[in-house]
Amino acid sequence: MYADDIKIYGIYSRENSNQVRSALQASLANLAEWASNWNVTINFNKSSILHLGPGSTIDYAVNGLVLKSCSTTKDLGVVVDNTLKFSKHVDHCVGKAYSTLFLLLRNIRSNNPRLLTRLFKAFVIPHLEYCSQVWNPFLKRDVDKIERVQKTFTRLLFKRLSPYGAIPCYHDRLQKLNMKSLCERRALADLVFGFKVLRKEMKLRASKYWLFKPTSVRTGGFNLYYAKIQQKSFLCMFNNVFYRLARWFQLLPQDALKAQNGKAFREKLKQLDLSRLLNIACY
């Protein structure tokens, strides 16, 4: 049995912090008791506490062992830190993407742009897009850092095709290669994810994340409202996927929103200039 992705969490305010912390400690004790009863070994030395938000932290213990606190942890392949800005995850995935990119370029001698582009999409881009709905960055330096990987690839590709010729600008390189910016690809992934939630193609309940406001009968569409953000919330909360989508769905044309399913919705979005439509600076 593998249980290395088990998480116990609690959300508390100043008024109920003591109760929630006591409940967390009790949950840890119950977990240890269950593991003992079923002869399941849990290495609590490798377990840790990640505290999010302001306020004082307290120690939690299991069987007399005080669990260590950390500022960063990896959860199902995503590096999560205590600020929820995901900058460290961006550094991690960009590093892996560069390593894979240069490995490909060293070992593939072909000058066929179609082949090289397909290899880039198959082996490099997945490092930059895995679970992007969770960590899609809002800091410009992180957005630029990710986009720079594709800029590097397209520049080196044109350099290989024409060693002594002038290299077009990034926008023109993307057009010639029929590629989208990575920023726009992440936006498309976000929108398709949200559409599938709304169409009940995923096991997530839309009403848990959005409020549905009345909308004009003539315009129709999705008039969503994300009400969970308070004035004292983290800045990063303003960029979580459900808040982003509440804004973006109101900007999409009706033809796209009337798609029958997520696959059809994706195809309609591919025909749009999402960076202009959503007013996002991709490069």
Tell me, what's the pLDDT at 1?
Answer: 41
Q: Which of 22-26, 49-53, 202-206, 235-239 has the lowest mean pLDDT?
A: 235-239
Contacts of 124 (CB under 8 A, 6+ apart): 97, 100, 101, 104, 149, 153
Q: Per-residue pLDDT tens for 82-95?
A: 888 899 999 999 99
Token pair belonging to 162: 């024409």
Tell me, what's the pLDDT at 136?
Answer: 94
| Separation of alpha carbons 227 and 240, rounded Å | 12
| Separation of alpha carbons 183 and 85, rounded Å | 16
Between the two ends of the chain, the Cα-to-Cα distance in Å is: 45
- Tally of helices (H runs) and strands (E runs) in the chain: 12, 8
Tell me, what's the pLDDT at 220?
Answer: 52
Q: Per-residue pLDDT tens for 115-145?
A: 999 999 999 999 999 999 999 998 999 999 9
- ∠ CA 58-64-69, nearest 5°, is 35
Q: Which of 172-181, 204-213, 254-263 has the lowest mean pLDDT?
A: 204-213
